[in-house]
Structure 1
Amino acid sequence: MEVFAGRFGAWSIEPEDVAEVWGYRVGISVAAAATLATSCLAVAPEGSDLRSWLLTLADPLCCTGAAALGVSLQLIHIYLAPLKRALQVLWLLGCCGGAYLMATQEAPVALYVAQHPEAVWLVGPLWASLTGVAFKEGLCYGKLEAALLFGTVPLWLLCHLGQVVPPEGERGLLAVVVGTLAVFAARKYTQPIKDDIGDKSVFKFMSLTAEEQEALLQEYKQ
C-alpha cells in the first residue's frame, strides 16, 4: 500500500476512498450525459418524432442529472466544510425550484425555463452548485475546461435571464456549456485517484477539536 506524506502526517488510499472518487466521477458523467440529452430539445425540429421523444424524457433526464450531481456533491472532497455545505444548499434550492415547476406546469422543466426566462431564478441555484464544482476543480488542478465551465455557465444563464442575446446566441452558449461539461466529465478519468481524494491528513486535522489541533501543532513544532 502506497503511503503519502501529508501536511499533518502520512496517509494512504483505502478502498472506500477509491469508491468515493469513482462515485464522484460517475455522478459528474451522468449529470453531463443528462444535460447533453436534454439540451437536444434546443435543436430538435418542431413536430418531429425526436422532439416528441425528448419532451417525454425531459423531466426524467433532469431528475437523473440533478440526482447524479447531488451524489457528486455528497462525495466531493473539499477541505472547507462550509463551502461544501453551501454547494449542497444551492443544489437543494435548485432541485426544489425544479420540483415546483414540475408540479405546477404542464411543460417539462427544461422547455418551461427556455420559454420563461424568469424561471432561471428557480433552477439557477442548481447550476450555481455545478459552477462551484468547476471552481474547485479549476482552483485545485488548473484545468482549462473547469475554468471555461465556471465562466460560461453563469454567462449563459444571465444572458437567458436578461434576454440580451438572440436565440441563436443562447443556443451557441448552450452548446459551449454542454461541450465543456462533457470534456470536464471525461477528463476526470485521466486524473490519479489521489488527486480527487486530496490530503487526508488535512481532513483528519480539521475533524479534531481545537484543543487536539493545538496539541498536534505543538507536537510538530518540537
Structure 2
Amino acid sequence: MASRVLSTCLITPPTRFTHASPVKLSNKASWLRSKNRRIKCEAVGDSSQPVYNGVYGPWTVESSDVREVVLYRSGLVTAASSFVFAASYAFLPSDSLLSEIIKQNLDLLYTLGAGGLGVSLFLIHIYVTEIKRTLQAFWALGVIGSLATCTNLAQPAGENLIQYVVNNPTAVWFVGPLFAALTGLVFKEGLCYGKLEAGILTFIIPTVLLGHLTGLMDDGVKLTLLASWMTLFAIFAGRKFTQPIKDDIGDKSVFMFKSLPDDEKKALIESLEQQN
C-alpha cells in the first residue's frame, strides 16, 4: 500500500523558540519537538476528520488522498469492464450484431483495460517500494510486448491482438507480463483485505494463460475458467468502492516517514524511542 502523499508537517522547517522559552533546548531537541508538534497539528487541524494513529505518528485522510484512491479504484473498474466486454466475445454467437461490434473494438478494449491497470499500478499503496516497481515493470513489459505483437504479427496477419494470441499460444510470452502485473495486484488485495474473489483470481489468471500457452487445457475448461475470471474480476472491482477510503491508503505515517532524508529518519526514530 504505497503512497506518494507527503505531509507538509514533515518537510517544513522547524519552528524557532523565542528567548521567552522557559527551557533551553539543544538544536536537535528543539527540532524534534517542533517536528512532533507539527505532526500533531497537521493531524488534528480539521476536527471533522478522524485521526488515525500510525507507526510514526498520527495522520488524517486529506482531499488529495481521496482523489488518489478514487482514481485507483476507477482504474480497476476500467480494467475489469474492458476485460469483461472483450472476453464476452468468446460466449456470443459469431453472427450476432453485438459479437461483431466487440470484435471490431477488441484492440480498443484491450488498450483501455491496459491503461486502467496502469493507472491503478501507478497509484497503488504498497509499503515495499521494490514490489510496487516490480509490478509496474511487468506492466511496462506487457504493454511493449503487446504493442510489438499487434504491430509486427497480428496486423500483418489481418487479425487483432486478442485473436492473434488466441490462435497463436506462444504470443502469451509477449502479453503475459501485463497479466502478471494484474495477478500481483489482486494477490496484494486478497492478502491485505482477505477478499475471496481476489484470492481466487490469483490462481485463475496464471492458470488460464499457462493452460493456453502449453496447450494442456481443452477449450471447455478454458471457457469455464474465463467465465469465472470475468465474474470474479467484476465483483472485485465493484467491491472496491464499498471499502473505506483509509483502507487503500494504509498507514500514511509510514509513507511520510519514508519520504524523509536518512538523517531525519534517524532523528525521528530516536525521538519516538525516547517517547516510548
- Which TM-score tier does this pair reach, normalised by the shorter chain? over 0.9
**Mapping of residues 1-222 of structure 1, within 5 Å:** 1-104=49-152, 105=154, 106-222=158-274
Show CA shifts across 1:6-36 (max 9, x none): 1100101110100000000011001000000
Q: What is the CA distance between 1:51 and its match in structure 2?
A: 2.6
Q: Which runs of 4+ in 1 moved over 4 A?
A: none
Rg bigger for which structure? Answer: 2
Q: Match for 1:166: what amino acid? A: D
Q: Match for 1:50: what amino acid? A: L
Q: What is the CA distance between 1:2 and its match in structure 2?
A: 1.6
Distance of 1:95 and 1:217 partners within structure 2: 41
Q: What is the CA distance between 1:101 and its match in structure 2?
A: 2.1
When the two chains are superposed, the root-mean-square deviation of aligned CA atoms in Å is 1.1
Distance of 1:203 and 1:6 partners within structure 2: 10
Aligned residue for 1:13, secondary structure, equals coil
How many residue pairs get matched? 222
Distance of 2:256 and 2:96 partners within structure 1: 55
Distance of 2:52 and 2:130 partners within structure 1: 26
Q: What is the CA distance between 1:211 and its match in structure 2?
A: 2.3
Show CA shifts across 1:136-163 (max 9, x none): 1111111111111111111111111111
Determine the structure 1 residue equivalent to 2:27: none
Distance of 2:114 and 2:227 partners within structure 1: 19
Q: TM-score, normalised by structure 2?
A: 0.78
Distance of 1:119 and 1:182 partners within structure 2: 26
Q: What is the CA distance between 1:112 and its match in structure 2?
A: 1.0
The structure carrying a bigger helix percent of its residues is 1
Consecutive unaligned residues in structure 2, runs of 5 or more? 1-48
Q: Match for 2:76: what amino acid? A: I
Distance of 2:90 and 2:214 partners within structure 1: 18
Q: TM-score, normalised by structure 1?
A: 0.97
**Deviation larger for 169-178 or 202-211:** 202-211
Show CA shifts across 1:65-88 (max 9, x none): 100111111111111111111111
Q: What is the CA distance between 1:210 and its match in structure 2?
A: 2.6
Consecutive unaligned residues in structure 1, runs of 5 or more? none
Distance of 1:107 and 1:37 partners within structure 2: 18
